[in-house]
Amino acid sequence: MLNPVKRLYLLLEAWLNISFKEWNPLYHLGTLTFFFFWIALVSGVYLFLFFHGSLDGAYASVERITNEQWYAGGVMRSLHRYSSDAAVATIILHIFREFALGRYRGIRWYSWVTGIPALWMVVLLGITGYWLVWDQLAQYLAIGSALLMDELPIFFGSMSSNFVDGRLNDRFFILIEFLHLLGQPIMLIFVLWFHVRRLSNVNIMPPKGLAIGSLLAMLVLSLIKPATSHPPADLTTLPAVLNLDWFYLNIYPLLDYWTPGQVWALVMGVTVLLMLMPWLPAKKKAPAAVVDLNNCNGCTQCFEDCPYDAISVRARTDGARHEYEVVVDPDLCAACGICVGACISSNPFRKAEPDLHTGIDMPQFPINEVRNLTDTALVALRGDTKIIMFGCQHGVDVDGLEAQDIQGIKLICSGMLPPALVEYALSNGADGVMIAGCRHTDCYCRFGNRWMEQRMASSRHPVLRARAEAERIHIHGGAITDSRAVAKALDEFRQKLSILEKPGPRLDESCVEDE
């Protein structure tokens, strides 16, 4: 049964797909976050050129930037503010998305656990940015932060004393400038590197259209509602009205009602809970991919296609004529089977042995079993238009779409499908093949449907050979909640096939090469 959180999220995603399609921002939350960081960096560098970091000069310099050159400095300040807010928003949405879709357990624990400190680093970076303005909001944050730091045993109640008896001086701004402009950004880059280091083919830029649209939206917002300051800080008075940025400053109002220790208990409790979630409960690990050097020619395509950097390449160890062999790290393997679809030995036309063996395979669902299921499905097909439908465990349930003229085969991931198996089905009685993995541009295993689509388009190895008729192959991915849309696409595909001539007879095995 689909849990309600996942169902609601998938429905929201589907609704946004109507307008955005491949630019759906929910598919690009990670890259959007990096893009917003770039905007914050560029705008921040510009602001720094005119900023005077001192107790007396900070507020005045920010006001000059904002009002005397509103067309540049004012817009840059607003862009800096809104891009920083947008980065927090996309991080929070990214965390919620991974939770809703169950993409935080198993081997994904590493990305989840390293992502939580990244969020707190971004929040701390924003807080020090607000301090630099040195208005009444900055005063409120600085005093609140001092109270929180006093609760830590390393400060022993010394931080808040800086805000009484006139002890605060320009050295305070030297520290804050160092943290905001150098120390914290370097630490954030380091944390983000840790966050993505177990992933391959990491992209840090969203689609061009989505990036341009996001930038234009923030420019319009900057002109309509520019960022402004509160009155200047005055340690002899208490601010009467403050407009908080709830993306960054949400815990500070709690200090009006709770002790600093209670606030720390809440923050640390939420942090620990989030970091323990991948093991609440722990996900049972599936067997890792296994390499068979007797059927591996060292082409390294599985290494190129692995989404989780679980495959490495080394010099051949079995004395074969091939130069390389691949090695699977079981601790990093997601057991997605994408490497099986990448192996040119996963060719179902190979009949030299009773069983089909390939260079890299999944012990729990070997390619020989996939071929046997395909043979069984081909025999079971009845009717004038016969369709084999390949799906995956994380997309729409193809078993529920079966009929006498439609047989479904559920793979671990659509990326596990070798292009030769599609040709095999068409050559052995199927009038058409439909592939229904995850939603387009979104794959539970990161790149499964993307690599599969590129292989079918002959733009990625192993390619679908030209002899396979493209009009007899249809790709329409969908989530579990998209069964109606996939069923409609299947019916349209059936009608299209009904007016085509029947495909040619089965290929003679002698003319099929082991590519």
Q: Closest by alpha carbon to 57, among 158, 169, 148?
A: 169
Q: Torsion-angle region of residue 66: left (phi > 0), alpha (psi -120 to 50) or beta?
A: alpha
Tokens describing residue 89: 């928003």
Q: Can you give the pLDDT at residue 506?
A: 52
Q: Can you give the pLDDT at residue 400?
A: 93
CA gap 196, 308 in Å, rounded: 10
Q: Can you give the pLDDT at residue 1?
A: 64
DSSP element (H, E) containing 461: none
- Torsion on CA atoms 323, 329, 334, 335, rounded to nearest 10: 70
Q: Can you give the pLDDT at residue 164?
A: 60
Q: Can you give the pLDDT at residue 271?
A: 97
Q: Name 397's Cβ contacts closer than 8 Å, sequence gap at least 6.
A: 391, 410, 480, 483
Residue 508: pLDDT over 50? no
Burial 478-502 (b: 16+ CB within 10 A, else e): bbebbbebbbebbeebbeebeeeee
Identify residue 483 by its one-letter amino acid code: S
Other CB atoms within a 10 A radius of the CB of residue 247 amount to 18
Residue 322: pLDDT over 90? yes
Convert the pLDDT of each residue in 61-95 to its tens digit. Answer: 999 999 999 889 999 999 999 999 999 999 999 99
Other CB atoms within a 10 A radius of the CB of residue 217 amount to 12
Q: Are residues 309 and 388 in contact, defined by beta-carbon separation less than 8 angstroms?
A: no
Q: E strands, 250-328, where?
A: 290-291, 311-315, 324-328
User: Helix, strand or coil for residue 265?
Assistant: helix
CA gap 298, 417 in Å, rounded: 20
Q: Name 271's Cβ contacts closer than 8 Å, sequence gap at least 6.
A: 116, 120
Give the whole-number percent of the chain exceeding pLDDT 70. Answer: 95
Q: Are residues 230 and 249 in contact, defined by beta-carbon separation less than 8 angstroms?
A: no
Q: Over 99-154, what HEC string results?
A: HHCCCCCHHHHHHHHHHHHHHHHHHHHHHHHHHHHCEHHHHHHHHHHHHHHHCCCC
The pLDDT confidence band at residue 515, using thresholds 50, 70 and 90, is: very low
Q: Closest by alpha carbon to 420, among 283, 337, 512, 309?
A: 512
Residue 194: pLDDT over 90? yes
Give Rg (Cα) of the chain. 29
Other CB atoms within a 10 A radius of the CB of residue 254 amount to 15
Longest dimension (CA), the chain: 93
Section 152-156 average pLDDT:
77
Lowest mean pLDDT: which of 22-31, 191-200, 235-244, 398-407? 235-244
Other CB atoms within a 10 A radius of the CB of residue 412 amount to 24
Tokens describing residue 444: 């539970």
What's the sign of the alpha-carbon dihedral 253, 254, 256, 260?
A: negative
Tokens describing residue 96: 């919620």
Q: Can you give the pLDDT at residue 512?
A: 41
Q: Are residues 443 and 452 in contact, defined by beta-carbon separation less than 8 angstroms?
A: no
Q: Closest by alpha carbon to 176, among 250, 233, 236, 119?
A: 233
Residue 509: pLDDT over 60? no
Q: Torsion-angle region of residue 83: left (phi > 0), alpha (psi -120 to 50) or beta?
A: alpha
The residue that leads in pLDDT, 505 or 133, is: 133
- Structural domains in the chain, CATH included, are 20-238+248-276 (1.20.810.10), 290-501 (no CATH)
What's the sign of the alpha-carbon dihedral 139, 145, 148, 154?
A: negative
Convert the pLDDT of each residue in 258-310 to its tens digit. Answer: 999 999 999 999 999 999 999 998 889 999 999 999 999 999 999 999 999 99
326 DSSP assignment = E
Tokens describing residue 130: 């607000």
Convert the pLDDT of each residue in 452-490 to its tens digit. Answer: 999 999 999 999 987 678 899 999 999 999 999 999 999
Average pLDDT, the chain: 92
Tokens describing residue 177: 């400038």
The pLDDT confidence band at residue 51, using thresholds 50, 70 and 90, is: very high
Tokens describing residue 144: 């609140």
CA gap 381, 391 in Å, rounded: 17
Tokens describing residue 433: 């093949």
Q: Are residues 412 and 302 in contact, defined by beta-carbon separation less than 8 angstroms?
A: no
Residue 513: pLDDT over 60? no
CA gap 407, 494 in Å, rounded: 13
CA gap 37, 43 in Å, rounded: 10
CA gap 189, 507 in Å, rounded: 54
The pLDDT confidence band at residue 210, using thresholds 50, 70 and 90, is: very high
